[in-house]
Amino acid sequence: MNAAATVRLSLALVLAMMLASCTPSGSAIRGDGSPPDPVMGDWQGHRVTRSGVVVPMAVHSIALGDGRYRFAAYIDMREPLSEMLFEGKIDGNRLIVSEHPDWSVTLDDGTVSGRTTQPEAQTFALRHVVRLSPNLGARPPEGALVLFDGSGFKGWERREEKQRAMPVGWKSMDGVMEVAPGAGDIVTKQKFTDFRLHLEFRTPFMPEAREQARGNSGVYLQGRYEVQVLDSYGLTGEDNECGGIYKVGAPRVNMCAPPGQWQSYDILFNAPRFEVDGKKVKDALVTVVHNGIVIHEDLPLPGPTGGALDTAVQFPGGILLQDHGNLVQYRNIWLVELKP
């Protein structure tokens, strides 16, 4: 077996180990409680076409504020139906669809059903479902470094060097850390080269906000390469949305859960490689598993992304969490260092 094949096999084994180690610690850490909006989220069921064919169907319902929603229909939860994208407003138990006021749509006892003029869906019936990441509550394996277990910010410091003598300004409550807008980014005191990282995050419910103002934060590997955190639920999945590497790579599939629901990142990172004379011979590589699905695999990172702590890519770096002005929460953060 040649060296390249060995490296690929090693990465595959590490990824398999990473997923296998993600054993939930129990229902308490998995539960999300009541959703912040009863209409927002995933709906799943079937549609009946004009010719009478029954077809599975899924819908992402995105809250826009003031009782308004954007609905994106899917063949399953990940393959969109481009012709089925519309907005509507709840009026009692009726959904008024802006583009199609003649549609008859009702919400009753957790079921949305109705009749449309679309040949692809003459009638439909959908029930609200919640898809939790299978990796929520993953226990740190033996030898892992627990970076945050809910007991405080030991091992973390402020990003700005002149402020590092000050306590971290973020909040820690009930096993969760929460961004304190204006307090600034935080970073681990310890620095790392190659590693696999597990963390869980939750974006706030901000129906009136749009785009980058909606649950924005980020996870910077070595403080230099950002994996985006954002409420991108129901969007197309771009490089500046949840799971994206800004200006480097969009996620293979948008696995973002609705705001208010806990999500997981499992990340395998290999630092760039250099010759003895300092010449870089290999870019950093990252594999990202978002809510149990691989969204980047061995993605080369040619250089630090926007907002990086520094550009000294030849040296180890910490894990940086970004304050972008929104009340994003994190929990259950641990890391396993890997031998080069």
Domain count, the chain: 2
The rounded radius of gyration (Å) of the Cα atoms in the chain is 22
The reply to whether 222 and 138 lie within a common domain is yes
pTM of the complete model: 0.87
| pLDDT (0 to 100) of residue 75 | 74
| pLDDT (0 to 100) of residue 120 | 79
Mark which of 86, 114, 129 sits at the end of a domain: 129
| Buried b / exposed e along 30-54 (16+ C-beta atoms within 10 A) | eeeeebbbebbbbbbbebbeeeeee
Q: Domain range holding 50?
A: 41-129
The reply to whether 288 and 211 lie within a common domain is yes
Mean pLDDT confidence for 279-291: 97
263-270 vs 320-321, strand pairing mode = unpaired
Phi, psi of 61 (to 5 degrees): -110, 115
CB atoms within 10 A of CB 152: 12
pLDDT mean across residues, the chain: 88
Where residue 74 falls among pLDDT bands split at 50, 70, 90?
confident
Continuous H helices in the chain? 3-20, 27-30
The reply to whether 143 and 125 lie within a common domain is no
Mean pLDDT confidence for 250-258: 96
The rounded percent of the chain whose pLDDT value lies above 70 is 87
Q: Which amino acid is at 338?
A: L
The reply to whether 165 and 242 lie within a common domain is yes
H/E run at residue 286? strand 284-290
Say which CATH number the domain at 313 has.
2.60.120.560
d(CA 209, CA 221): 27
The reply to whether 90 and 165 lie within a common domain is no
Q: Cα torsion at 319, 33, 231, 172 (round to 10°)?
A: -30
